[in-house]
């Protein structure tokens, strides 16, 4: 049996997404307008060889590489009954999708007005911290 560890990262470090789900399991589920999340799927999120999520859903299927096709399949399998994890920075009020990009894409693709989410705070991130981001340039 194999398992895949899921991490969220920012300029400060890496955070364990499974731990964030455990921390937030009793938090209130809220709703956010799907259109408010479009800017979060315009950028490459899954690696240099993979288009942005918005690029994947706008490209002809024949042009998608294997990894992009896998993400597109995950979009169609995404279960919108589950919320996404959304982090809001306490200082800047900016928010980021921690987990649930495939659900966000599906809600936009199928013209669903809102996405369910659970809000993650700075304190939650501190509790799920795995390690800092270090850049070693030689």
Summarize pLDDT for 15-65 with one digit per residue, the tens: 899 999 999 999 999 999 999 999 888 888 877 788 989 899 899 989 999
Pairing of strands 114-120, 84-88: parallel
pTM for the model stands at: 0.84
For the range 90-97, what are the long-range contacts, defined as Cβ-Cβ under 8 Å and sequence gap of 24 or more?
A: 90/121, 90/122, 96/8, 96/10, 96/40, 97/37, 97/40
pLDDT for residue 91: 82
Summarize pLDDT for 51-81 with one digit per residue, the tens: 989 899 899 989 999 999 999 999 999 999 9
Task: For the chain, list the domains and their CATH numbers.
Answer: 12-132 (3.90.1530)
Summarize pLDDT for 78-110 with one digit per residue, the tens: 999 999 999 988 788 888 999 999 999 999 999
Phi, psi at 37, each rounded to 5°: -100, -5
């Amino acid at each position: 049996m194999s398992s895949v560890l899921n991490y969220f990262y920012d300029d400060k470090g890496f955070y364990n997404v499974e731990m964030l789900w455990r921390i937030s399991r009793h938090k209130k589920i809220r709703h956010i307008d799907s259109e408010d999340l479009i800017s979060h799927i315009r950028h490459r999120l899954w690696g240099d060889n993979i288009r942005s999520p918005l690029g994947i859903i706008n490209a002809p299927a024949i042009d998608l590489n294997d990894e992009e096709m896998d993400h597109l399949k995950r979009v169609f399998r995404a279960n919108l009954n589950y919320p996404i994890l959304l982090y809001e920075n306490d200082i800047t009020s900016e928010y980021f999708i921690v987990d649930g990009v495939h659900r966000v894409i599906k809600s936009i693709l199928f013209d669903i007005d809102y996405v369910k989410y659970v809000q993650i705070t700075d304190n939650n991130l501190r509790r799920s911290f795995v390690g800092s981001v270090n850049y070693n340039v030689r």
